[in-house]
Amino acid sequence: MSLEQPTALILLNMGGPDSLETIEPFLYNLFSDRELIQLPMGALLQKPFAKLISHFRSKKVRESYKYIGGRSPLLAWTRKQAVGIAERLGGHIQPFVLMRYWQPRAAEVMTQLKKAGIRQAIVLSMYPHYTGATTGSSINDFEQHAEKLYPELSYQVIDQWYDWPGYVTALASRVEEGLDNFHELMRDDVRILFSAHALPQKFIDRGDPYQQQVETTARLVMERVGNYRWSIAYQSRSGPVKWMTPGTDLELIRLGAEDVKSLLMVPISFVSDHIETLEEIDLQYRMLAEQHGIAHFFRAPSLNDHPDFLEGMAGLVRERCQI
């Protein structure tokens, strides 16, 4: 790939509602994606089921978004990440963001690229750990729209980076920052709980490497952090399907039963703050931990636009794209 001509850096992410009024259509887009959620009775009824589920679920989700200010911060953080990575790459790199389930979506981004006369792109998934449910769906969405709307676009895809040293080092630094919240006299007794987004177990059973990659990332981080007891759990489990285990809620209860008093939670499959960190961890899991005797509960800061993370991601692009 030659950087003598304008090059787009396109970050792929899930997206989130930008107002309380857009929660329901966002959920409809999400539940309509059979690569992510296969609702019963086949593809023909996927969208009617999605319409029904998104309507009723939006009422509950609305309260969660009210708690964090009425909108998802995911787009703002992803834009900052795109700009920060592009600046570190220099040259003719121009940042773009493409969201899977809310704006800006693939058709809009293709129009922007054509209008700007950009004919080559680096496509970077912001999911560190690969599963067809998230990474695969986002890449398929990009490729289908590129083929249909902008077949002249030449691009290279970076689809997973769970063991990239720049990412692991940045995450380890956030863990160390989180540990600084504990008094030095209790720091040796702090338990660390990595919390990744859960998937239905069927994705793991079919061969997706997601769980293995999450475990590898956690191990590599702890090799840098030092001698603490730690475990992994999976959050955001909902609906009547078999999910990956252990669930984060059940792991918190288990740790409380072990008389753990000091706990640092580390969001591992999220590279920026959004509803799962700001409301699910910071509110729901904090309350659950306190109810089960975990008196000192903190969350490690998210990666967001920390300079070490952005530099690490720029290094990833340089190596994978040989620029």
Active site residue 276: yes
Catalytic site residue from 71, 129, 174, 197: 197
Active site residue 4: no
Active site residue 119: no
Catalytic site residue from 11, 14, 99, 313: 14
Element (H, E) at 135: none
Under 8 Å between Cβ of 204 and 211? yes
Say whether 105 sits in a helix, a strand or coil.
coil
Active site residue 155: no
Backbone phi, psi, residue 141, to 5°: -60, -45
Active site residue 101: yes
Catalytic site residue from 18, 24, 208, 280: 280
Catalytic site residue from 28, 75, 99, 100: 100
Active site residue 30: yes
Active site residue 197: yes
DSSP conformation letters of 287-306: HHHHHTT--EEEEPPP-TT-
For residue 156, the Cα-to-chain-centroid distance in whole angstroms is 21
Which residues contact residue 309 at a Cβ distance below 8 angstroms, ignoring those fewer than 6 apart?
81, 166, 167, 170, 271, 303
Catalytic site residue from 276, 279, 282, 305: 276
Active site residue 273: yes
Catalytic site residue from 28, 65, 101, 234: 101
Say whether 231 sits in a helix, a strand or coil.
strand
Q: Please report how the helices 307-321 and 74-89 are oriented relative to each other, as an axis angle in degrees rounded to 10.
A: 60
Catalytic site residue from 11, 12, 27, 36: 36
Under 8 Å between Cβ of 88 and 229? no
Give the C-alpha separation, 254 to 248, whole Å: 10
Kindly provide the residue ranges of all beta strands, DSSP E only, lying in 180-229, ordered along the sequence: 191-197
Is cis: bond before 6, omega within 30 of 0?
no
Q: Which of 309, 305, 323, 310 is nearest to 88 (CA)?
A: 310
Catalytic site residue from 24, 251, 273, 282: 273
Under 8 Å between Cβ of 108 and 141? no
Residue whose tokens read 């895809």: 157
Catalytic site residue from 11, 12, 27, 30: 30
Residue whose tokens read 């795109």: 82
Active site residue 167: no
DSSP state of 44: G
**Residues acting as catalytic residues:** 14, 30, 36, 100-101, 197, 273, 276, 280
